[in-house]
Amino acid sequence: MEVAVFSSKSYDECYLTEANQVYQHELQFYSAHLNPDTVSLAAGASIVCCFVNDCLNAQVLSALAAQGIKFIALRSAGYNHVDLDAAKALGIKVASVPAYSPYAVAEHAVGLVLVLNRKIHRAHTRVREGDFSLHGLLGFDLHGKTVGVIGTGKIGSVFARIMQGFGCHLLGYDIVENAECLQLGMQYVELDELLKQSDILSLHCPLTPETFHLIDVQALAKTKPGVMIINTSRGKIIDTVAAIDALKRQHIGYLGLDVYEEEADLFFEDLSDQIIQDDVFARLQTFPNVLITSHQAFFTKEAVRNIAATTLANINAFATGQGELHLVG
């Protein structure tokens, strides 16, 4: 079947082509995001393949349906960017990649904790410039600190296990308790209690109407002064303006972000020759205790290979009616 692959980068093309060798579907790669202006690129295809910052709202889905698209293969675990009600009404099926490497994302979250705490990013720049002083680089022992994990599913539980290895106490908040986390000694508490007690907060829940701006002014007011907050989940779980205010008041001590509320206009692109128009993002970048990566937590060889394999398996299952199809919605 012909598949229009949107938001395609060289690594997508490489790994999807490799995974397609056994199936031989016809893959058309487009670097453009899917949106109302680019939707016509899918004309002639039966399936579209999308990533996290493609626009899959009712307008785009209607245009896809009018072009005969019946299936959307997401190359992501999260599907908060898809209007699933509209897709259902239009008869479009949507599949995602439910698990590809919880280790990739959890290890990146731990990386943000370590770099922020020990200011390794700043130390690297300083040493390269011949400044071997240590002022401003004082960190803290992770051993004995309390780590609050919000969302203790596949990624949250791997993150918890690594942090337990550092000798941290684990608190968890989730709508479902995970037996693996309980075995690690995690104590499940109400959100308020977790916010109150945690030295480090790490977000691993999906973006849903319930988790939108879960970390807002009120939630931040309950956190410890100097708290470290890590978000590798979805940008809109944190109210960025509230976080900036808390950073200015020196209430948030460290902020590590792999995702950002308005990342769709920025992340995954080389904008180094352009003027960034997003003033909120620009303000975030001025803080020495904020570390931002461009939605790269998933980006390991193992994860990208698994994403490609499951995406092609989903496409093939839809095309042939055989094999496992990881439908969402």
Tell me, yes or no, if 295 is annotated catalytic.
yes
Stretch 40-99 residues interacting with ligand NAI (CB under 6 A): 77-78
* Cα–Cα distance measured from residue 203 to residue 148, given in angstroms and rounded to the nearest whole number: 9
In the complex with ligand NAI, the residue whose CB is nearer, 11 or 140, is: 11
233 binds ligand NAI per the rule CB under 6 A: yes
Q: Rounded to the nearest whole angstrom, what is the least distance from the CB of residue 171 to ligand NAI in the complex? A: 13
137 phi and psi, to 5 degrees? Answer: -105, 10
Count of alpha carbons within 13 Å of 280, Cβ hemisphere only? 15
Site string for ligand NAI, 191-230 (x = CB under 6 A): -------------xxxxx-xx-------------------
The yes or no reply on residue 190 touching ligand NAI (CB under 6 A) is: no
Nearest approach, Cβ of residue 90 and ligand NAI (Å)? 24
Contact set for ligand NAI, span 282-321 (CB under 6 A): 295, 297-298
Partner residues linked to 18 by β-bridges = none
Question: Count of alpha carbons within 13 Å of 111, Cβ hemisphere only?
Answer: 16
| Nearest-angstrom CA–CA distance, 329 and 327 | 7
3-state helix, strand, coil in the chain (%, to 5): 40, 15, 45
Exactly one of 295, 302, 305, 324 is catalytic; which is it? 295
Residues, the chain: 329
Alpha helices, DSSP H only, in the chain?
A: 10-20, 58-66, 84-89, 102-118, 120-128, 154-165, 179-183, 191-197, 217-222, 240-248, 279-284, 301-320
Residue 277 burial (C-beta neighbours within 10 Å; 0-12, 13-18, 19+)? exposed
Task: Considering the complex, state which of residue 199 and residue 263 has its C-beta at the smaller distance from ligand NAI.
Answer: 263
User: Could you give the 3-state DSSP secondary structure of residue 302?
Assistant: helix
Applying CB under 6 A, among 148, 156, 253, 256 the residue interacting with ligand NAI is: 156
The answer to whether residue 305 is catalytic is no
- Catalytic residue, chosen from 81, 204, 263, 326, is 263
- Least separation in angstroms between residue 266's CB and ligand NAI is 14
Shortest Å, Cβ 1 to ligand NAI? 26
Concerning whether 263 is annotated as a catalytic residue, the answer is yes
Distance CA 248, CA 241 (A): 11
Q: Which stretch binds ligand NAI (CB under 6 A): 3-11, 112-120, 139-147, 150-158?
A: 150-158
Q: Which residues contact 207 (CB under 8 A, 6 or more apart)?
A: 78, 80, 233, 234, 236, 237
Q: Which residue is nearest to ligand NAI (CB)?
A: 153
**Binders of ligand NAI: how many residues, by CB under 6 A?**
30
Q: In this complex, which beta carbon is closest to ligand NAI, that of residue 281 or of residue 298?
A: 298
Taking the complex as a whole, how short is the minimal distance between the CB of residue 105 and ligand NAI, in angstroms?
5
**Beta carbon nearer to ligand NAI, 5 or 106:** 106
Among 8, 146, 152, 202, binds ligand NAI (CB under 6 A): 152
Amino acid at 41: L
Residues of the shown chain interacting with ligand NAI in the complex, contacts defined by CB under 6 A: 77-78, 102, 105, 150-156, 173-176, 204-208, 210-211, 232-234, 258-259, 295, 297-298
Active-site positions read 234, 263, 295
